[in-house]
Amino acid sequence: MPLEVNGKTYETDEEGYLANLNDWNEDLAKAMAEADGTTLDENHWEVINFLREYYEEYQIAPAVRVLTKAIGKKLGPDKGNSKYLYELFPYGPAKQACKYAGLPKPTGCV
Amino acid sequence: MADFETPEVKEYLDIPALKRGVMGNSKPFVSKEQFQEPLGFPGELVDNWQQVAVDKLGELLKTNRGLQVFMDSCVKCGACTDKCHYFLGTSDPRNMPVARQDLLRGVYRRYYTLPGKLFPKLVGAMDLTEDLLDQWYSYYHQCSECRRCSVYCPYGIDTAEVTMAARDIMNAVGKGQKYSNEIIGKVFKIGNNLGLPQPALEDTLEGLEEEVKEDTGADVRYPLDEEGAEVLLVTPSADFFAEPHVDGLIGYGKVFHQAGISWTLSSHASEAANFGLFIGSMENMKRIAMRIREAALDLGVKRIVFGECGHAWRVAYSFLNTLAGPFDFLDPRYPVPQHICEVTYDLIQRGALTFDKSANDHRRVTFHDSCNVARASRMGDMPGGQFIIPREIIKAVCNHYYDMPPDTIGEATFCCGGGGGLLTDDLMELRVKGALPRMQALKQVVEENGVTHLAAICAICKSQFSKVLPYYGFQMDQIVSVHQLVSDAIVLGQKQ
């Protein structure tokens, strides 16, 4: 099911994850979030931007402890935990945040 | 949360009134060419799929004598009908194990028995039509290969083997399941189900070392690819990635640290899971298992230990030697392979570990037996060791332990609802409904004993419960790793 944003069409997989990482832009992330009834604020963006940076370096989304540690450093220690991340991304930080960041869905026993 | 109703948890587990075909539309995403080819399967449904399927069934009947017996020996006694968590949770009579098996058995009768060839209608024989193939795809992905029904079958028919055969045939004709096949491809390409490459593993493990240092002050190591270590730990990649899995991994490291055992993880064999089992493919199972042998030889280890992963332990305990043996280069004084629970239990028995059980006093714990450990393997050297050892570990580190009702644990354990290659979001309705019997048993000990946490030794169970517990009014963090409990209670440093 392709995604249409700003008059352009983007290819996605069955669950709406972007097929090509390079297609990603901020408007796409906003559109994906809106479709889920979420408005992205600056805290969401900290997570999304970190995911994209990490992916660029390691070709995989960060493990939960890597993510919580990084977010704790950026947003304060009270936010460096998965409870906070689940408040931001109720469908799970690994899956929902990866989707908005244009990354593939994590696979496996997770 | 989704467009289906979560079943109501009642005081007793009722056998539901039948709702014919209610789960007929439940189907996981079909695999694509890019996920099929690395496994040696056709990229899409082949033109002469019917013939290929019938031939493949014939081949499996010859190579798997068990399958032939399971096809012939069912007497329709009905003992299995109310034993399946998916039947109990969905009310679909096709999820009675016998009815699900009959989707394959009918085809077997049609093409491989004389009465079925001559008088198909009289003996329940069925032509393999496109509609039937669709039903196979739907219902053979509504069996988690947990084998609970087999415990109650007077003929010992192994439903998991029937499901595996059906999935093997579907892969042979090009109708594979995306979830399992994409994952197996990642193991071949990168080394684990998640696709964590070596640098990401290294970064993650360094972070864990820092975290444990901050928490405890101890220099516990989480080594990767260290040649000459005594133990190679093979663990599910979810242990690196997800919660509560990672707290179990932290616990294994603390146990090795405190026991003074040198160990390493391997980036080549950075996955304990073997989804080749789930899709019934011996070739793929072997290729995955060989990576463990290769890593053990490359790193020159003396022992192989498996982390908390249910079906991995089945493959390891029951098949590793056949798939990737002989392991004559390992230390013969230890079992090949060994489970992390056996390692920890032995150390506890020898008095080598000290625990502060009060560290777990905020938890009242029960244990979920994972199906592949419970019904397809053993631990230690006593019958039932796979039930005794994890419980004894928990009791050694926790003051409050309570079992769920006896007909829901041990060899009668109910599947978490997400095993056997079904732990995927496109099967969420099935997963939630299939968790009903376990949730019902959990609710009972929560109400009667004030249980707060469910401990498990399987990555799939842990992820599945994190996801489905909230559907039943529980919290997602009520599921914990057994070695997380160990981790919280273990006293690090010089032994007193």
Segment B440-473, tens digit of pLDDT: 999 999 999 999 999 999 999 999 999 999 999 9
In the sheet that holds B479-481, the strands lie side by side as B365-367, B453-456, B479-481
Does residue B494 fall inside a structural domain? Answer: no
Supply the pLDDT for residue B495.
61
B chain contacts of residue A66, beta-carbon cutoff 8 Å: 203-204, 207
Phi, psi of B247 (to 5 degrees): -70, -25
Q: What share of chain A is helix, strand, coil (3-state, %, to 5)?
A: 55, 5, 40
Q: What is the pLDDT of residues B112-126, one digit of tens each?
A: 999 999 999 999 999
Choosing from B151, B176, B201, the residue where a domain stops is B176
Are B273 and A108 an interchain contact pair (Cβ–Cβ within 8 Å)?
yes
Does residue B462 fall inside a structural domain? Answer: yes
B chain contacts of residue A57, beta-carbon cutoff 8 Å: 199
Pick B246's closest partner by Cβ from A58, A65, A106.
A65
B282 by DSSP, 3-state: which?
helix
Average pLDDT taken over every residue of chain B: 97
Q: What is the pLDDT of residues B288-303, one digit of tens each?
A: 999 999 999 999 999 9
B chain contacts of residue A106, beta-carbon cutoff 8 Å: 194, 241
Answer yes or no: A98 catalytic.
no
- Both B226 and B168 in one domain: the answer is no
Does residue B255 fall inside a structural domain? Answer: yes
Residues near B490 by Cβ (< 8 Å), separated by ≥ 6? B251, B254, B255, B258, B353, B354, B355, B397
The whole-model pTM stands at: 0.97
- Both B195 and B305 in one domain: the answer is yes
Indicate whether B361 pLDDT > 50: yes
Task: Provide mean pLDDT across the span B334-359.
Answer: 98
Residue of B nearest to A55 (CA): B200
- Both B131 and B222 in one domain: the answer is no
- Both B133 and B60 in one domain: the answer is yes
Where are the domains positioned within chain A? 3-100
Indicate whether B311 pLDDT > 60: yes
Tell me the CATH number at B127. 1.10.1060
The architecture CATH gives domain A3-100: Orthogonal Bundle (1.10)
Whole-number Å distance between alpha carbons of B131 and B142: 17
- Both B251 and B191 in one domain: the answer is yes
What is the pLDDT confidence band of residue B418, given thresholds at 50, 70 and 90? very high
Are A60 and B29 an interchain contact pair (Cβ–Cβ within 8 Å)?
no
B56 lies in which domain range? 33-176
Q: Does A14 touch chain B (CB under 8 A)?
A: yes
Q: What is the pLDDT of residues B229-239, one digit of tens each?
A: 999 999 999 99
Say how many domains are in chain B.
2
- Both B166 and B190 in one domain: the answer is no
B chain contacts of residue A59, beta-carbon cutoff 8 Å: 195, 197, 200
- Both B327 and B383 in one domain: the answer is yes
- Both B158 and B189 in one domain: the answer is no
- Both B238 and B123 in one domain: the answer is no
Indicate whether B279 pLDDT > 50: yes
Task: Provide mean pLDDT across the span A12-36.
Answer: 94
Indicate whether B2 pLDDT > 70: no
Pick B195's closest partner by Cβ from A60, A66, A109.
A60
Residue of B nearest to A66 (CA): B204
Pick A64's closest partner by Cβ from B183, B192, B246.
B246
Indicate whether A71 pLDDT > 90: yes
Supply the pLDDT for residue B417.
98
**What is the share, in percent, of chain B residues with pLDDT greater than 70?**
99
Identify the sign of the CA torsion B209, B229, B189, B287. Answer: negative
Does residue B421 fall inside a structural domain? Answer: no
Lowest-confidence segment of B263-272, B364-373, B487-496 by average pLDDT: B487-496
Does residue B413 fall inside a structural domain? Answer: no
What is the pLDDT confidence band of residue B1, given thresholds at 50, 70 and 90? very low
Q: Does A19 touch chain B (CB under 8 A)?
A: no
- Both B160 and B81 in one domain: the answer is yes
Task: Provide mean pLDDT across the span B402-420.
Answer: 98
ipTM passes above 0.90: yes
- Both B95 and B192 in one domain: the answer is no
